[in-house]
């Protein structure tokens, strides 16, 4: 079928209003404009950020097509696009890399100023949408919207990857792997023999655990209120599991008792103020490093004892493992193909896209690390 320059009608998932279940609909996807790329999606993962968006925790404009952790093949390109061509295997990028803004130009920055997360416009860079359904404009999520058989993204939000990449799995390198694994190995730079605690043992937390283990951590404490996650977490490298709801003391006190004085590295992958404080309080007062990865609801705040800040420990927020997305994600794909990192244990379920609702049931029940939807 020749689709070049034509509007494509395909299946997509739409969130029509806050906290409603997704609706599978026929949508119209316009051709890419200048500086844009239209992608035929092959796989997409269900990430906590998508669930947060659907629930309204991350405010987006309704109705919208969710999804950001995606792998696909370029169907067509708009005028001026040079980094990808039709037929290329690509990953979608929730955080783009424009290579022009202050964040991109700084060696340590990766939260590109052209991102569409905080805040979200739900529109492409020119202020318009490429999706319609039943005659109504449908908004984009994070300028990726991977819960659709076809999507349109800016060129800065897509990157070409190795042609040998297995497209049914590689989508997790679009978010889960850099966000979790990267937080441990690239942002925190976990050291051999160190002690770590991970708050939240979902997809991102599981990837953090793998990163801590790969870095040679001697003890990894996993914290979660869902004990069904514990066997999988132990298989990935967790040495001790804690359920805060079963403790008669604050979880940070339990962590300090277990370690003697606190951990070397604490990771928060939940996005709640109280778990952020608990992660901070779990750190060694002198050299502990607290990494905040979880995305919080708008206007939420957390407070720390001012006296505890000057003792030497570090608090750091991390997005996508501090990786510059277009530069680094293809390198992660190559590392996987060369057996330098193993993403396979992070994917516990694969389902056809039309079984989206079953996939979300597994996610909400905590029965999956990452469920990948296949188109």
Q: Tell whether 293 is covered by a domain.
A: yes
Q: Tell whether 164 is covered by a domain.
A: yes
Q: Which of 43, 52, 112, 140 is catalytic?
A: 52
**Distance of alpha carbon 265 from alpha carbon 61, whole angstroms:** 37
Q: Is 287 a catalytic residue?
A: no
Query: What is the pLDDT confidence band of residue 31, given thresholds at 50, 70 and 90?
Result: very high
Residues 106 and 17 reside in one and the same domain: yes
Q: Tell whether 134 is covered by a domain.
A: yes
Number of domains observed in the structure of the chain: 2
Residues 213 and 90 reside in one and the same domain: no
Q: Is 47 a catalytic residue?
A: yes
Residues 308 and 360 reside in one and the same domain: no
Q: Tell whether 233 is covered by a domain.
A: yes
The model's pTM is 0.96
Average pLDDT (127-133) is 98
Q: Is 49 a catalytic residue?
A: yes
Q: Is 10 a catalytic residue?
A: no
Residues 54 and 169 reside in one and the same domain: yes
Q: Which of 49, 76, 129, 157 is catalytic?
A: 49
Short-list 198, 246, 206, CA closest to 222: 198
Using the 3D structure, point to which of 317, 340, 362 is the last residue of a domain. 317
Q: Tell whether 183 is covered by a domain.
A: no
Average pLDDT (73-80) is 98
Using the 3D structure, point to which of 271, 299, 317 is the last residue of a domain. 317
Q: Which of 68, 140, 186, 284 is catalytic?
A: 68
Per-residue pLDDT tens over the stretch 90-119: 999 999 999 999 999 999 999 999 999 989
Residues 148 and 15 reside in one and the same domain: yes
Q: Tell whether 55 is covered by a domain.
A: yes
Q: What CATH number has the domain bearing residue 158?
A: 3.90.180.10
Residues 327 and 309 reside in one and the same domain: no
Per-residue pLDDT tens over the stretch 151-176: 999 999 999 999 999 999 999 999 99
Q: Do the beta carbons of residue 165 and residue 137 sit within 8 Å?
A: no
Residues 33 and 132 reside in one and the same domain: yes
Q: Which of 112, 171, 175, 212 is catalytic?
A: 175
Q: Tell whether 3 is covered by a domain.
A: no
**Distance of alpha carbon 101 from alpha carbon 124, whole angstroms:** 17
Residues 125 and 233 reside in one and the same domain: no
Per-residue pLDDT tens over the stretch 32-67: 999 999 999 999 999 999 999 999 888 899 999 999
Using the 3D structure, point to which of 287, 317, 347 is the last residue of a domain. 317
The residue segments making up the domain with residue 68 are 8-177+322-374
Residues 171 and 97 reside in one and the same domain: yes
Q: Tell whether 81 is covered by a domain.
A: yes
Residues 196 and 250 reside in one and the same domain: yes
Query: What is the pLDDT confidence band of residue 1, given thresholds at 50, 70 and 90?
Result: low
Residues 46 and 169 reside in one and the same domain: yes
Per-residue pLDDT tens over the stretch 313-343: 999 999 999 999 999 999 999 999 999 999 9
Residues 103 and 116 reside in one and the same domain: yes
Q: What CATH number has the domain bearing residue 205?
A: 3.40.50.720
């Amino acid at each position: 079928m020749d689709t070049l320059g034509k509007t494509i009608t395909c299946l997509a998932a739409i969130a029509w209003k806050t906290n409603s279940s997704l609706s599978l609909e026929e949508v119209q996807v316009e051709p890419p404009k200048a500086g844009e790329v239209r992608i035929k999606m092959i796989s997409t993962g269900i990430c906590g950020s998508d669930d947060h968006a659907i629930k309204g925790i991350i405010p987006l404009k309704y109705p919208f097509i969710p999804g950001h952790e995606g792998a696909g093949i370029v169907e067509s390109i708009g005028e001026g696009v040079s980094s990808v061509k039709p037929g290329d295997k690509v990953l979608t990028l929730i955080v783009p890399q424009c290579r022009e803004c202050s964040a991109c130009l700084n060696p340590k920055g990766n939260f590109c100023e052209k991102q569409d997360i905080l805040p979200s416009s739900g529109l492409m860079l020119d202020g318009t949408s490429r999706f319609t359904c039943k005659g109504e404009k449908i908004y984009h999520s994070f300028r990726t919207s991977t819960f659709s058989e076809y999507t349109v993204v800016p060129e800065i939000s897509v990157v070409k990857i190795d042609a040998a990449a297995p497209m049914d799995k590689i989508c997790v390198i679009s978010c889960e792997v850099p966000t979790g694994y990267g937080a441990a190995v690239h942002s925190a730079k976990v050291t051999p023999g160190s002690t770590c605690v991970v708050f939240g043992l979902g997809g991102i937390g599981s990837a953090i655990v793998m990163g801590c283990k790969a870095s040679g951590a001697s003890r990894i404490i996993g914290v979660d209120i869902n004990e069904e996650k514990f066997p999988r977490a132990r298989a990935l490298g967790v040495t001790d599991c804690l359920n805060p709801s079963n403790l008669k003391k604050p979880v940070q006190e339990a962590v300090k008792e277990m370690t003697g004085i606190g951990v070397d590295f604490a990771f928060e992958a939940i996005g709640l103020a109280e778990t952020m404080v608990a992660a901070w309080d779990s750190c060694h007062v002198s050299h502990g490093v607290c990494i905040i990865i979880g995305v919080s609801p708008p206007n939420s705040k957390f407070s720390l004892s001012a006296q505890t800040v000057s003792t030497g420990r570090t608090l750091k927020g991390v997005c996508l493992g501090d990786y510059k997305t277009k530069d680094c994600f293809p390198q992660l794909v190559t590392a996987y193909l060369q057996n330098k990192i193993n993403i396979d244990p992070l994917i516990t379920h694969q389902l056809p896209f039309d079984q989206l609702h079953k996939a979300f049931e597994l996610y909400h029940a905590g029965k999956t690390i990452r469920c990948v939807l296949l188109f």
